[in-house]
């Protein structure tokens, strides 16, 4: 559905004579294809039995898939493709704008929150009973997939997002955030190995 509605949005823009960069469409479709493979392919079959497969899927969900999805700019596409209502009622475009400018979006899109959530989730997940729940229970596994996909998306969005956001850190802060997170992941990986 995400690919279908994205392509419908691109088609609407082209039909109207507006341009949408082709590489954004390629990135979005590639990200969705990778997400589909990670959640339905061979790596998913072995995730419950091999820790290496589990970590490969987890890292792909949290890092690789969002790097493809975020530059696809789905919110920008939706806001351009969905018609604005002129009768003072709320349609799809108005609900998207309300969600983007809500207090909740203000908190979760803040670079500090996105970074702490991205980094802290690892410790919380792997050093509590949540890990056992996610590897032995189907519902727990689905929550893990959704959580790491969303936390990764928010983190990548705070670094390279082009969709509208209430908080946008300057580039030097984004770079420092990226290096700090990379160092944390290296330390976390060593802690897991030992």
pLDDT in tens, 93-113: 888 888 888 888 888 888 888
Contacts (Cβ under 8 Å, ≥6 apart) of 167? 106, 109, 110, 111, 158
The span from the CA of 165 to the CA of 177, in Å, is: 18
Residues 87/61, Cβ–Cβ less than 8 Å? no
Q: Which is more confidently placed, 194 or 25?
A: 25
pLDDT band at 158 (very low <50, low <70, confident <90, very high): confident
Those residues with Cβ within 8 angstroms of residue 172's Cβ, 6 or more apart along the chain or in another chain: none
Residues 6 or more apart in contact with residue 28 via CB below 8 angstroms:
2, 3, 6, 68, 69, 72, 74
d(CA 163, CA 74): 7
Instruction: Kindly tell me the sign of the dihedral angle through the C-alpha atoms of 68, 72, 73, 78.
Output: negative
Is 137 strand, coil or helix?
coil
Lookup result for tokens 């908080």? 167
**Chain CA centroid to CA 191, Å:** 25
| DSSP SS3 for 109 | coil
Average pLDDT, the chain: 88
Structure tokens at 102: 């809500």
Per-residue pLDDT at 3: 96
pTM of the predicted model, to two decimals?
0.88
Which residue in the block uniquely carries the two structure tokens 């009622």? 89
Predicted pLDDT at 72: 95
Instruction: For tokens 């969905």, name the residue.
Output: 82
Distance between CA 102 and CA 97 in Å, rounded? 8
- Residue 67 has a pLDDT of 95
Residues 6+ apart with CB under 8 A from 107: 113
């Amino acid at each position: 559905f995400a690919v279908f509605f994205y392509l419908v949005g691109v088609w609407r823009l082209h039909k109207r004579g507006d341009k949408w960069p082709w590489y954004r469409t390629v990135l979005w479709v590639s990200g969705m294809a990778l997400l589909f493979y990670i959640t339905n392919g061979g790596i998913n079959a072995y995730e419950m039995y091999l820790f290496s497969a589990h970590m490969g899927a987890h890292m792909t969900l949290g890092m690789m898939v969002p790097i493809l999805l975020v530059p696809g700019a789905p919110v920008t596409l939706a806001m351009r493709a969905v018609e604005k209502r002129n009768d003072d009622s709320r349609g799809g475009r108005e609900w998207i704008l309300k969600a983007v400018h809500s207090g909740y979006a203000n908190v979760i899109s803040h670079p500090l929150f996105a970074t702490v959530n991205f980094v802290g989730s690892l410790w919380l997940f792997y050093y509590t009973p949540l890990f056992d729940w996610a590897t032995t229970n189907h519902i727990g596994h689905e929550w893990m997939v959704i959580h790491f996909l969303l936390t990764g998306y928010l983190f990548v969005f705070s670094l390279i997002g082009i969709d509208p956001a209430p908080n946008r850190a300057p580039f030097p802060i984004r770079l420092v955030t990226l290096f700090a997170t990379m160092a944390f992941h290296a330390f976390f990986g060593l802690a897991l190995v030992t």
